[in-house]
Amino acid sequence: MSSISLSLRSYAPRSVWSLIGTLFLFLGAWVMVFPFIWMVSSSLKPTDEVYDANFSIIPRTFKGFENYYEVLFNQPYLIYLMNSFLVCCGILIVQLITAVPAAYALAKLKFRGSSILFGTVIAALTIPINVTSIPIYVALAKTGLLDTYLAMMLPFFISVFAIFLFRQFFRGFPDSIIDAARVDGFSEMEIILRLVLPSAVPAIAAFSVFSFVAHWNDLYWPLIVVTSQDKMTATLSMMQYQSDFDTDYGRTFASASVVTAPMVIAFLFARRLFIRGITMTGVKG
């Protein structure tokens, strides 16, 4: 009897802490998910009900069909989605082409100044696009590249975050395999393409999610360099429902819901590779 009571006393604290941890995680999940619930709920309401003082998740006046019909069919939304897709894919492809060799060099090649270069990469992580936007804009204006796909992609072709992420991953690749490949006559590019890169699929998947989501949701840079409607991205198209005198919040939130949906679906399919890639790159020294 005493052994049973002792086991119950030892089990009780664990149950309490488990309950506290579950409640804490539930609260955190609710804080993260609630903005999306509010966005979808607002997309189903008329404008005057969106910011009503008596907030309700369920709309009192349902206007979802009108809002989504306006977003999807009364404007070239497929063109906007295609523009976003082309810009995100173009940025990602060039980022991978430039970041993988640079990260491999920093991780596996011994040369003078490598530590300084890696420190520069770390320092560059702290520089936001806002700092360099003015000189980049002036350069694009003088070369006549404004309002083009290249103008939307060019500032992001070099990703220091990708270099850092892949460098951390490549450090865990066995040096013995690389040395054996060199003995067999492999060039450094062959080592990258045939040995290192196939093992880096989780890291590439993780970075692809980061890059695609960041540039899919980017409003700042397209708002600066895009002036024509046929070059608008999906995120930029949300600005059409806003003006100084009248803003259709219901359609704005409907547009935001449509823009967000592809990224949520893509993450659900790629979440295992994403989590695996973050885990594997995070433990490398």
pLDDT, one tens digit per residue, over 268-284 is: 776 676 666 566 555 44
Is residue 266 in a domain? Answer: no
Tell me how long the chain is.
285
Same domain, 166 and 242: yes
Q: What is the DSSP code (8-state) at residue 245?
A: S
Number of structural domains the chain divides into? 2
> Residue 166: CA atoms inside 13 Å, Cβ hemisphere, count?
30
Q: Which of 77, 92, 104, 117 is nearest to 229 (CA)?
A: 77
Q: Which domain holds residue 59?
A: 16-71
Provide the whole-model pTM.
0.80
Q: Residue 121 — very low, low, confident or very high, per pLDDT cuts 50/70/90? A: confident
Percent of the chain residues topping a pLDDT of 70: 88
Cα radius of gyration (the chain): 25
Q: Which of 160, 157, 94 is nearest to 127 (CA)?
A: 160
Same domain, 230 and 171: yes
Same domain, 180 and 202: yes
Same domain, 46 and 176: no
Same domain, 156 and 187: yes
pLDDT score of 284: 46
Is residue 3 in a domain? Answer: no
**pLDDT of 10 above 50:** yes
Same domain, 59 and 94: no
Mean pLDDT of 88-98: 94
The 10s digit of each residue's pLDDT in 27-39 is: 988 888 888 888 8
The 10s digit of each residue's pLDDT in 218-267 is: 888 998 999 888 889 988 888 777 665 567 788 888 888 888 888 888 77
The 10s digit of each residue's pLDDT in 165-184 is: 899 888 888 888 888 888 88
Please say whether the beta carbons of 266 and 92 come within 8 A: no
